[in-house]
Amino acid sequence: MSPRLSLNQATIKRATLREALDTTRTAGIAGIGLWREPVAEVGVDDAVRLVADSGLRVSSLCRGGFFTAPEGEERVVALDDNRRAIEETAALAAAGADGSAAALVLVAGGLPAGDRDLAGARERVRDAIGALEDDASAAGVTLAIEPLHPMYAADRAVVSTLGQAIDIAEQFGPAVGVVVDTFHVWWDPQVLEQIARAGRGGRIASYQVCDWITPLPADVLLARGVPGDGHIDFGPLGAAVRDAGWTGDVEVEIFHQDIWDAPFAEVAARVAVAFDRWIEPTLV
Amino acid sequence: MSPRLSLNQATIKRATLREALDTTRTAGIAGIGLWREPVAEVGVDDAVRLVADSGLRVSSLCRGGFFTAPEGEERVVALDDNRRAIEETAALAAAGADGSAAALVLVAGGLPAGDRDLAGARERVRDAIGALEDDASAAGVTLAIEPLHPMYAADRAVVSTLGQAIDIAEQFGPAVGVVVDTFHVWWDPQVLEQIARAGRGGRIASYQVCDWITPLPADVLLARGVPGDGHIDFGPLGAAVRDAGWTGDVEVEIFHQDIWDAPFAEVAARVAVAFDRWIEPTLV
C-alpha cells in the first residue's frame, strides 16, 4: 500500500462521512479527501471529531468556488459560503493526522444563465479569489484552483487549463494554488511545462488522478474511471508532478456509476491495487 | 443573405450531393462545404459536373486525416486515402465558382487502440502531414489541420488546440494551414491570440461556426448547435478572424439530431437567419 494514496470521498459517493473514514482506514489507506456535503450531514464539530478519531490524513476539502455570478446577492452568498468552506478546511485539516493539507478545492463555476461573456466570467473568478485570499491566508488554508476539462467550460468551470489556473494563482500570494487532476489536463499539449511552472512557483496544492474512459457516458460528469481503465498515460504526468517537487498525497477521485454502485470496501481495495500498479511507480 | 455564408453539407447530413447542392442554391446561399462520402456515392467525375452546374463556391472538402497509426499497413492505407482526398479537393474546388477554396479539412485521428502514448501519436500526425505536403502543394490544395475539442482527444483527434495546430502548420510551407471552428476552440483562454498568430502566418484555411449547447447530448459528437442556441460569444471570435485577414467563406457546420431530422430547405433557411443575426455582424 502506497503511503501517498488518499481516497477522495466522492469515489465512494454514497458513503456517509463515518463510513468513508472507516472504509479508508480499514483498507489501509492513510489519507482521505473530504467533501462538504457529507461533512455537513453530521455537522462540522462532529466531523472534526470523527476525522481526529480516524487517524487519517486529510488531503483536501471539496469544494468551494462557483463564484462567476455578477455583482449582487448571488455573488455575496457565494463568497460567504466560500468563507465558511475555508473555516471548515482549516478545522478538518487540523483534526487530520500529520501531513494533512489545508487545501480547499475551488471549481470556478460556469457561465451565468443567458450570459455568453466567457472573458467576463473569468475575470470574476480572479476577483473572487482576490476577495477570499486574506481569509484563506489567515486560516492557513490554500485556495486550490482546479482547472476543469474544457467540456465543462459553459456549465461548470470557466477555468479550463492548468496554465490559466496558474495565471490566476500567480496574481496572489502563497495562499492560492492549483489542482493538477489528470482527467482534466491530460490532453493539454502544454501540460508538462505547466506542471513544471506550477512547481517552480510553489503553486501545486493537490494532485488528483483518475482515468479518461471512452466512449464518454451519457452524463460526461461520470467519465472519471479507475486508473488503467482508460487512455491516460500516467507516466509523464506523474514524473512531471514528482519533478515539480510535489511530495504530498495523491488523491484518487472517481466519478463512475459502476464504482458508485459497488460495495465501499471493494472500491477501496480496487483503488489501492490500481494505484500501486499505475500511479505509485510514476512518483518515485 | 450574407455572401460569406457557406453551408457545410454535414448540416443536412441525410441529403445526397445533388440534394445538398440544390438546397444550398435554392436557399440563396453562395457556398457549400462538401464531404467525401456523398461525393463518393455519385463518383468524383459526376460530383465535379454537379458542382460546376450548381454555380456554388466550394469552401472545403471534409475530410482527410486519421493518420495516427504507427508504421505499417494501416498507416500506408491512410496516407494513400489522403492522397486521393487531395486530388478530390483540387477537382471539386476547380469545378466550383470563383472564390472556391481548395482546402482539405484534416481530422488527426485518436489514439490507436490500446496505445496511451499521446505525444507519440501527435508526432505521427506531424510526420503524416510532412509526407503529404508535396502532394498537396503540387495539387494546389491546402491541408487544413482542424484542432478538435479536447473531449475528442482520445478517440478522434489528438490535435486539441489551435496553438498546437499552428505549431504543426508552421513546420511546413504554405500548403499547410489550420481550421478555426468555434465549437472546438471557444473555451481556449489563448484562442484570440492564436487566431491572430494564424493570421499573421497566413495559416487560416477555413472558418467554421456552430454553437456549444448544454446539456451535452449523450453522443457528444452531436452537440454542435445552430448559432445563437448555445453559449458561444461569436463577437470576439469573429472579430479576431476578421482582424486576422480572413475574407473567405464562413461555413456553418451543425451536427445535431433535431437538425438532421428536419427538412433540408427548412434547415438552410434557419441557418441563413442565424448567420445574419449572429455571425455576419462579427465579420464587418
Q: For residue range B137-157, list pLDDT tens digits in order.
A: 999 999 999 999 999 999 999
- pLDDT at B71 > cutoff 90: yes
Tell me the pLDDT of chain A averaged across its residues. Answer: 97
The residue of chain B nearest to residue A117, with distances taken between CA atoms, is: B233
CB contact under 8 A, A232 and B116: yes
Contacts of A153 in chain B (CB under 8 A): 186-187
Contacts of A212 in chain B (CB under 8 A): 154
Give me the phi and psi of B151, to 5 degrees please: -70, -10
CB-CB: which of A111, A118, A216 is closest to B151?
A216
- pLDDT at B102 > cutoff 90: yes
- pLDDT recorded at residue A34: 98
Residue B90's contacts (CB-CB under 8 Å, 6 or more residues apart) are B102, B139, B140, B141
CB contact under 8 A, A189 and B215: no
Residue whose entry in the numeric block shows the C-alpha cell 466512449: A215
- A interface with B, Cβ–Cβ below 8 Å: 111, 116-119, 122, 149-151, 153-155, 160-161, 163-164, 167, 186-189, 212, 214-216, 218, 220, 230-233, 236
Query: What is the DSSP-derived secondary structure letter of residue B70?
Result: P
**Mean pLDDT along residues B100-121:** 97
- pLDDT at A30 > cutoff 90: yes
CB contact under 8 A, A149 and B149: no
Distance CA A164, CA A14 (A): 33
Residue A273's contacts (CB-CB under 8 Å, 6 or more residues apart) are none
Handedness of CA A203, A184, B179, B230 (dihedral sign): negative
CB contact under 8 A, A161 and B216: no
The residue of chain B nearest to residue A155, with distances taken between CA atoms, is: B214
Best A214, A221, A278 residue to mutate vs chain B (most B CBs within 10 Å): A214
- pLDDT recorded at residue A41: 98
- pLDDT at B10 > cutoff 90: yes
**pLDDT-derived band at A1, boundaries 50, 70, 90:** confident
Best A148, A151, A210, A229 residue to mutate vs chain B (most B CBs within 10 Å): A151
- Assess contact for A101 and A61: CB atoms under 8 A: no
Instruction: Kindly report the nearest CA distance between residue B77 and chain A, in angstroms.
Output: 25
CB contact under 8 A, A154 and B233: no
**pLDDT-derived band at A64, boundaries 50, 70, 90:** very high
Distance CA A79, CA A73 (A): 10
Strand runs labelled E in A75-150: 103-107, 142-145
Domain boundaries, chain B: 5-283
Task: Express each pLDDT in A169-200 by its tens digit.
Answer: 999 999 999 999 999 999 999 999 999 999 99
**pLDDT-derived band at B1, boundaries 50, 70, 90:** confident
Distance CA B279, CA B227 (A): 8
- Assess contact for A106 and A65: CB atoms under 8 A: yes
User: In angstroms, how far is the first alpha carbon of chain B from the final one?
Assistant: 14
Distance CA A195, CA A74 (A): 33
- pLDDT recorded at residue A32: 98
Task: Express each pLDDT in A89-106 by its tens digit.
Answer: 999 999 999 999 999 999
- pLDDT recorded at residue A164: 98
Instruction: Report the b/e string of B136-175 with b at 16+ CB within 10 A.
Output: bbebebbbbbbbbbbbbbbbbbbbbbbbbbbbbbeebeeb
- Assess contact for B226 and B211: CB atoms under 8 A: yes
Residue A233's contacts (CB-CB under 8 Å, 6 or more residues apart) are A186, B116, B117, B118
Contacts of B218 in chain A (CB under 8 A): 218
CB contact under 8 A, B151 and A151: yes
Largest CA distance in chain A: 49
Output the CA–CA distances (angstroms, integers) from residue A142 to A87, A102, A202, B261, in the order listed: 11, 6, 11, 51
CB-CB: which of A119, A188, A220 is closest to B216?
A220
Whether residue A215 has a cis bond before it, omega within 30° of 0: yes
Distance CA B62, CA B100 (A): 14
Tell me the pLDDT of chain B averaged across its residues. Answer: 97
Write out the H or E segment, with its range, that includes residue A224: strand A224-225
CB-CB: which of A119, A215, A233 is closest to B118?
A233
- pLDDT at A71 > cutoff 90: yes
CB contact under 8 A, B231 and A188: no
How many interface pairs between A and B have CB atoms less than 8 angstroms apart? Answer: 78
- pLDDT at A62 > cutoff 90: yes
- Assess contact for A34 and A251: CB atoms under 8 A: no
Largest CA distance in chain B: 49
- Assess contact for B1 and B9: CB atoms under 8 A: no
**pLDDT-derived band at B119, boundaries 50, 70, 90:** very high
- Assess contact for B276 and B2: CB atoms under 8 A: yes
Report the 10 Å Cβ neighbour count for A178.
32
Strand runs labelled E in B18-150: 31-35, 57-65, 103-107, 142-145
CB contact under 8 A, A149 and B153: no
Output the CA–CA distances (angstroms, integers) from residue B120 to A186, A233, B159, B261, in the order listed: 14, 11, 12, 40
- pLDDT recorded at residue A260: 96
- pLDDT at B101 > cutoff 90: yes
The residue of chain B nearest to residue A165, with distances taken between CA atoms, is: B189
Instruction: Kindly report the nearest CA distance between residue B106 and chain A, in angstroms.
Output: 18
Task: Express each pLDDT in A274-283 by its tens digit.
Answer: 999 999 999 9
* Cell output for B100: 472556391
Distance CA A41, CA A19 (A): 13
Distance CA B43, CA B27 (A): 25
* Cell output for A225: 474511471
Contacts of A111 in chain B (CB under 8 A): 231
- Assess contact for A61 and A105: CB atoms under 8 A: yes
Residue whose entry in the numeric block shows the C-alpha cell 511545462: A193
**Mean pLDDT along residues B36-40:** 98
**Mean pLDDT along residues A228-243:** 98
CA B152 to chain centre: 15
- B interface with A, Cβ–Cβ below 8 Å: 111, 116-119, 122, 149-151, 153-155, 160-161, 163-164, 167, 186-189, 212, 214-216, 218, 220, 230-233, 236
Report the 10 Å Cβ neighbour count for B98.
5
Residues recorded for chain A? 284
Write out the H or E segment, with its range, that includes residue A168: helix A162-169
Residue whose entry in the numeric block shows the C-alpha cell 456515392: B41
Please give the CATH number for the structural domain made up of B5-283.
3.20.20.150
Write out the H or E segment, with its range, that includes residue A6: strand A5-8
- pLDDT recorded at residue B208: 98
Contacts of B214 in chain A (CB under 8 A): 154-155
Residue whose entry in the numeric block shows the C-alpha cell 469552401: B59
Distance CA B69, CA B75 (A): 5
Best B116, B125, B185 residue to mutate vs chain A (most A CBs within 10 Å): B116
User: In angstroms, how far is the first alpha carbon of chain A from the final one?
Assistant: 14
Give me the phi and psi of B153, to 5 degrees please: -60, -35
Query: What is the DSSP-derived secondary structure letter of residue B150?
Result: G
Distance CA B282, CA B183 (A): 16
CB contact under 8 A, A151 and B216: yes
